[in-house]
Amino acid sequence: MSAYLLHLRRRFGAVLYPALYGPQILAFMPAITLAAYWMFGETALLTVAVVVPLLLAFAYVPPAARRPPPSLRDGLTGLSNRSGLCENLDQAIARGADRGTTTACLVITLDDFSQLQERLNPAATDSILQRVADQLALVCRQNDTVARLEDGGFGVALHPMARADLETLIQLSGRIQSAVSEPISLDGRAQYVTASIGFCLASRSPEPNGKSILQSAESAMIEARRSGPGAIRAFSAQMKPLLAERSAQLDEVAAALEQGQIRAWFQPQISTDTGQVTGFEALARWVHPERGIIPPAEFLSALEAGGQLNRLNEVILFQSLTALRRWDQSGMTVPMVGINFAGQDLQNPRIADKLRWELDRFSLTPDRLTVEILETVVTAMENDVVTRNIAEISKLGCGIDLDDFGTGTASIRHLRQFTVNRIKIDRSFVSKVDRDHDQQRMIAALLTMAEQLDIETLAEGVETAGEHAVLAQLGCNHVQGFAVARAMPFEETIGWYARHNRKISAAPKIRNKSK
Ligand code: C2E
Ligand code: CA
Ligand code: CA
């Protein structure tokens, strides 16, 4: 048989096989029964009408019965686990070699999952995972294998198909992302999650087995997460295997900090009233000579494990105060820079003295520095050192921002006790605030409370002009997020600032509710 005929046979085979052996064959029953009657009479009619459904009833395994056995099943979602996924991929690859079909593996990871875990109770994160599992099962075909990996990760093994190319996979990834981004109701509130996706086509896998294709899809997912949130990446041979990458990173991260590869990038915060810059938040970035820009989610835990968060804090503080001086020298008006302080930083009994000394060294007044403290740190650490430190930093004249507000359990008492100047309303309240009435009501309540307490407000993670406009109308004082700008290296801030100022002097103002 010529190669072309062989190709045609494989293609039709791949399409016809599932149709002939699936329950959809029942649609042909009336035609088959009639044909049997015309050709062979009543006995044939009876035989076909009884025997075919019986045969199918025995042969067909309903989807629920296809649940993986306990050893290959994830306890929470009932989906396959990592071993189950690998096994299915192995089978799909072997079947492909026989029948000329192909497969692919997708790895889906929820963006910011570790932050979700910190913020929500375990039952809430479990319901998010369960809901994502349900959505994945809906988007994928019945014969695809959906699996739960560790943390906020899921995997999909495509049932062998005639054509699984880049375009098909990109489209499927897009459909998965939109299904995952549907609001999830938690205690009557909408919670939004996004996903980054990496995939590997069987034809691109370094080795023709399940383990290799899954690892490759995971490497692609790491690349996607680095470019995310919400990015999609296909595996290419240049990407390193995940495990090698992880262990190398642990060794490298300490050295990177000392060699100055971990730097402060700056994300602007602007007034909703005037549009002017009211500050920059310093966010740590690992500027890796080969791997590019690595976000803090991938190295903070290593620094914490190595007890080096204090060193990071020193580096970021130094670079932020340097930036303030340079902004002043270039004629920019940047009222202040905000720095993230971890619980560990606030345990240091000399932290307030250190800040005073550093500010003096740069001839900057304390109001130019804002200390961002996570709401969870404030509530979890009702210990004397932390409380005293926050009080001293505030007495020194630095601003205190309560970060990720709304995700912990800080009370009005905490706001007063820690002399908080501003709350940073967490992105989970801000997402889709222009389209979701519940979100609007929550934000309005938070803003009213802050106004009564005479505390400023900043909305974090503002991603669209619509969200920005609604926040301004509701009376939130400041916004920060991709809608304004992403974090950028110091060198880009000067050009961005000039362009931004030109834009706001040309644009009509959004009126604030208090005006
Ligand atoms: P955070 O303090 O809540 O910082 C805001 C995070 O949201 C940043 O992520 C920022 O890039 C991201 N973000 C800003 N605007 C948007 C938006 O519109 N949409 C979305 N989806 N995200 C947005 P990043 O830089 O990856 O930092 C993650 C976390 O790492 C920070 O959360 C902070 O808790 C921690 N972190 C960053 N730098 C430092 C540091 O120097 N020291 C310490 N201890 N923690 C740091
Ligand atoms: Ca922050
Ligand atoms: Ca935050």
C-alpha span between 206 and 200 (Å, rounded): 10
- One-letter amino acid for residue 111 of the chain: D
Indicate whether 270 and 122 sit together in one domain: no
Domain limits for position 100: 67-235
Mean pLDDT of all residues in 388-406: 93
- Does 349 reside within a domain? yes
Expressed in angstroms and rounded, the spacing between residue 412 Cα and the centre of ligand 2 is: 20
The response to whether residue 463 sits with its C-beta less than 6 Å from ligand 1 reads yes
- Does 324 reside within a domain? yes
The response to whether residue 343 sits with its C-beta less than 6 Å from ligand 1 reads no
Tell me: pLDDT of 276 over 50. Answer: yes
C-alpha span between 260 and 253 (Å, rounded): 11
- Does 510 reside within a domain? no
At 332, phi and psi to the nearest 5? -80, 150
pLDDT band at 400 (very low <50, low <70, confident <90, very high): very high
In the predicted model, what is the mean pLDDT of the chain? Answer: 85
Q: When comparing pLDDT for 187 and 11, which is higher?
A: 187
Tell me: pLDDT of 286 over 70. Answer: yes
Query: Could you tell me what percent of the chain has a pLDDT over 90?
Result: 51
Nearest one of 332, 345, 397, 392 to 370, comparing CA atoms: 397
The response to whether residue 284 sits with its C-beta less than 6 Å from ligand 1 reads yes
Query: What is the structure's pLDDT at 48?
Result: 75
Query: What is the structure's pLDDT at 470?
Result: 97
Indicate whether 372 and 467 sit together in one domain: yes
Asked whether 71 and 83 are in contact (CB, 8 A), the reply is yes
Taking CB atoms within 8 Å and a gap of at least 24, the contacts of 377-380 are 377/341, 377/342, 377/343, 377/346, 378/402, 378/408, 378/410, 378/414, 378/418, 379/408, 379/409, 379/410, 379/414, 380/343, 380/408
Taking CB atoms within 8 Å and a gap of at least 24, the contacts of 247-251 are 249/298, 249/299, 249/302, 250/302
Expressed in angstroms and rounded, the spacing between residue 317 Cα and the centre of ligand 1 is: 16
Best residue for ligand 1 mutational test, from 283, 351, 402 (most atoms within 8 Å of Cβ): 283
Best residue for ligand 1 mutational test, from 110, 116, 298, 340 (most atoms within 8 Å of Cβ): 340
- Does 241 reside within a domain? no
CATH code where residue 173 lies: 3.30.70.270
Ligand 1, atom 45, lies closest to the CA of 340
Tell me: pLDDT of 9 over 60. Answer: no
- Does 266 reside within a domain? yes
CA atoms within 13 A on the CB side of 282: 29
Asked whether 470 and 434 are in contact (CB, 8 A), the reply is yes
Q: Report the run of H or E that residue 126 belongs to, with start and end.
A: helix 122-139
Tell me: pLDDT of 179 over 50. Answer: yes
Q: 3-state DSSP call for residue 147?
A: strand
The response to whether residue 230 sits with its C-beta less than 6 Å from ligand 1 reads no
Q: 3-state DSSP call for residue 483?
A: coil
Which residues crowd ion ligand 3, with CB under 5 Å? Answer: 403-404, 460
Ligand with the closest atom to the CA of 279: 2
Asked whether 355 and 383 are in contact (CB, 8 A), the reply is no
Indicate whether 441 and 388 sit together in one domain: yes
Tell me: pLDDT of 250 over 80. Answer: no
Tell me: pLDDT of 17 over 70. Answer: no
Q: Which atom of ligand 1 is nearest to the CA of 424?
A: 3
pLDDT band at 370 (very low <50, low <70, confident <90, very high): very high
- 145-159: pLDDT as tens digits: 999 998 889 999 999
Which residues crowd ion ligand 2, with CB under 5 Å? Answer: 340, 372, 403
C-alpha span between 313 and 304 (Å, rounded): 11
Ligand with the closest atom to the CA of 483: 1
Ligand 1, atom 3, lies closest to the CA of 404
Query: What is the structure's pLDDT at 213?
Result: 93
At 384, phi and psi to the nearest 5? -60, -45
Indicate whether 56 and 79 sit together in one domain: no
* Residue ending a domain, choose from 235, 264, 297: 235
Indicate whether 173 and 221 sit together in one domain: yes
DSSP 45: H
Mean pLDDT of all residues in 406-426: 84
Asked whether 424 and 372 are in contact (CB, 8 A), the reply is yes
Ligand with the closest atom to the CA of 431: 1
* Nearest 10 degrees: Cα torsion 368, 487, 457, 321: -10
- Does 437 reside within a domain? yes
Query: What is the structure's pLDDT at 230?
Result: 87
Tell me: pLDDT of 315 over 70. Answer: yes
Tokens of 288: 């890796």
Tell me: pLDDT of 497 over 90. Answer: yes
Tell me: pLDDT of 323 over 80. Answer: yes
Number of compact structural domains in the chain: 3
Can you give the three-state secondary structure of 239-282, one letter per residue? CCCHHHHHHHHHHHHHHHHHCCCEEEEEEEEEECCCCCEEEEEE
Indicate whether 391 and 465 sit together in one domain: yes
Tell me: pLDDT of 118 over 80. Answer: no
CATH code where residue 462 lies: 3.20.20.450
Indicate whether 59 and 73 sit together in one domain: no
Indicate whether 98 and 8 sit together in one domain: no
Mean pLDDT of all residues in 211-231: 88
Indicate whether 153 and 289 sit together in one domain: no
Tell me: pLDDT of 502 over 90. Answer: yes
Tell me: pLDDT of 205 over 70. Answer: yes
- Does 140 reside within a domain? yes
Helices (H), 140-234: 166-180, 210-227
Mean pLDDT of all residues in 198-220: 91
Tell me: pLDDT of 294 over 60. Answer: yes
Indicate whether 201 and 280 sit together in one domain: no
Q: How far is CA 435 from CA 56, 426, 461, in A?
A: 48, 17, 16
- Which is it for strands 153-157 and 145-148: parallel, antiparallel or unpaired? antiparallel
- One-letter amino acid for residue 188 of the chain: G
Residues in the chain: 515
- Which is it for strands 184-186 and 456-459: parallel, antiparallel or unpaired? unpaired
- Does 455 reside within a domain? yes
Tell me: pLDDT of 337 over 50. Answer: yes
Query: What is the structure's pLDDT at 5?
Result: 47
- One-letter amino acid for residue 381 of the chain: M
Q: Report the run of H or E that residue 83 belongs to, with start and end.
A: helix 82-99
Expressed in angstroms and rounded, the spacing between residue 218 Cα and the centre of ligand 2 is: 28
Ligand 1, atom 37, lies closest to the CA of 283
Tell me: pLDDT of 138 over 80. Answer: yes
Ligand 1, atom 19, lies closest to the CA of 461
Asked whether 216 and 237 are in contact (CB, 8 A), the reply is no
* Residue ending a domain, choose from 235, 257, 291: 235
Expressed in angstroms and rounded, the spacing between residue 116 Cα and the centre of ligand 3 is: 12
Q: When comparing pLDDT for 164 and 359, which is higher?
A: 359
pLDDT band at 3 (very low <50, low <70, confident <90, very high): very low
Indicate whether 78 and 195 sit together in one domain: yes
Query: Could you tell me what percent of the chain has a pLDDT over 70?
Result: 87
The response to whether residue 342 sits with its C-beta less than 6 Å from ligand 1 reads yes
C-alpha span between 194 and 198 (Å, rounded): 14
* Residue ending a domain, choose from 12, 29, 63: 63
Indicate whether 354 and 270 sit together in one domain: yes
Query: What is the structure's pLDDT at 515?
Result: 45
Helices (H), 286-383: 300-305, 309-329, 343-346, 351-361, 375-380
